[in-house]
Amino acid sequence: MANAFYDFAGQLRQLEQDGLYRRRRVVDGPQGVSVNTDGRELINFCSNDYLGLANHPQVIAAFKAGVDRYGAGSGSAHLICGHSSAHHALEEELAAFTGRERALLFSTGYMANLGVISALLGRSDTVLEDRLNHASLLDGGLLSRARFQRYRHADIEDLRAKLSSAVGKALVVSDGVFSMDGDLAPLPAMADLAEQHHAGLLIDDAHGFGVLGKNGGGIVEHFALTQDEVPILIGTLGKAFGTFGAFVAGSEDLIEMLIQKARSYVFTTALPAAAAEATRTSLRLLQAETWRREQLQNLIRRFRQGARQQGLQLMDSFTAIQPILIGDSGQAMAASRCLREQGFWVSAIRPPTVPAGSARLRITFAADHTEQQVDALLDALGRVLS
């Protein structure tokens, strides 16, 4: 007897027809600029491991030493008995790194965003979100049950208008570096505006940390903005840090408030202490090895210059995220497939990750790509997109 609840075939067929079906590729071996998938070696232009730390020998050694000292699992939530000295030391180091009073570790960036927004807002408040915010920021806003307002992408005037009519407490929420576009939030103006309107400001700099700023301090270092100007700062550790986890940085009281109220902090197991130990090493490398950022910027410049010469449509980005707008989801998929046949892994990003009609190739660079690899990608893009 068929149970209609489980009749997913029609929906799946529709996704396939709309070019929106998602498939995973199995990777055999570590992350890097060259990865082994489906028995083939591909040059990887879709990872967020921007500094090449995910497979760094010192980071791996720290992870292993962490396992030896702390074991495999952390046993419980931070508030029960899972908060190790490795977690604690990492929090102190992240606070110093970001120039904030304190930092609090979360298991993932997704959970940090859900937990922080829903802890700080309630039904009678307003959350203001950039249209192109990451899904986890949008979901955090929805979970909070606050009145939900989206403003036009990076549009200060639209934000000003919506802040003026906000009810209750207002929280402005934005990506720092936009994850699918690579451009920056107009942060100095947003900080002024939030202050004028006595609103909160939360910036998720998942793609800025490690990449922007002389010391890798991300968008707040890039614009030299203090804790007073950007009071709620979120970072993730699975991207440029090359490991796993996330953190929130801000005032002593903010962090204490989150420890009490953020449900995705309270009701979840602490990430393995070994992951925190690995992150402590990547934090050290990320700050000390400025050549990684310089090399990354060289590659980005080289790519943009070459792409312009070929007449490719670039976006307004100087970060490691360099999308090429295609528009149609099917065409973006086809371009990604052709690139794969030529030995390059570039992902096609489709709705709902990006707005309808704006499917794109999302090309990302890492410090350990070579100039030859960038040139070879440009050649392949020329062949595939012309």
159-178 residues near ligand PLP, rule: CB under 6 A: 175
Q: Which of residues 82 and 235 has its CB atom nearest to ligand PLP in the complex? A: 235
Q: Which is nearer to ligand PLP, 134 or 292 (CB)?
A: 134
Closest by CA to 199, choosing from 161, 163, 174, 228, is 163
Rounded to whole angstroms, the Cα distance separating 104 from 254 reads: 10
Would you say 346 or 378 has its CB closer to ligand PLP? 346
**Shortest CB 206 distance to ligand PLP, Å:** 4
Output the CA–CA distances (angstroms, integers) from residue 107 to 55, 259, 273, 345, in the order listed.
20, 13, 11, 28
Q: How far is the CB of 378 from ligand PLP (least distance, A)?
A: 25
Q: Across the strands, what pairs with 27?
A: 37
**Rounded-to-integer distance, Cα 327 and Cα 331, Å:** 8
Active site (annotated) includes residue 84: no
Q: Are 97 and 88 in contact (CB under 8 A)?
A: no
- What Cα–Cα distance (Å) separates residue 126 from each residue in 110, 121, 147, 192, 262? 20, 8, 5, 18, 18
Residue 125 or 204 having the CB closest to ligand PLP: 204
207 catalytic per annotation: yes
**Does position 321 bind ligand PLP by CB under 6 A?**
no
**Shortest reach from residue 137's CB to ligand PLP, in Å:** 7
In the bound complex, what is the minimum distance in angstroms from residue 116's beta carbon to ligand PLP? 11
Which listed range, 23-31, 93-101, 106-114, 279-287, lies at the site for ligand PLP (CB under 6 A)?
106-114
Interface residue with ligand PLP among 74, 84, 108, 373 (CB under 6 A) is 108
Is residue 179 annotated as a catalytic residue, yes or no?
A: yes
Q: Which is nearer to ligand PLP, 176 or 312 (CB)?
A: 176
Residue 13, C-beta contacts closer than 8 angstroms, at least 6 positions apart: none
Which tokens belong to 260?
Answer: 């009490």
82, 218, 238, 242: residue in contact with ligand PLP (rule CB under 6 A): 238
* Ordered DSSP codes for 120-175: H--TTSEEEEETT--HHHHHHHHHHT-EEEEE-TT-HHHHHHHHHT--SSEEEEEE
Residues between 201 and 220 that touch ligand PLP (CB under 6 A):
204, 206-207
Which of these is catalytic: 174, 179, 329, 358? 179
H or E element that contains 333: helix 329-341
Residue 255 as a binder of ligand PLP (CB under 6 A): the answer is no
Interaction of residue 182 with ligand PLP, rule CB under 6 A: no
Which helix (H) or strand (E) is 62 found in, with range? helix 57-70
Residue with tokens 């070019």: 19
The number of residues that bind ligand PLP (CB under 6 A) is: 14
Q: Which residues are catalytic?
A: 179, 207, 239
Residues engaged in binding ligand PLP (CB under 6 A): 108-110, 113, 134, 136, 175, 179, 204, 206-207, 236, 238, 246
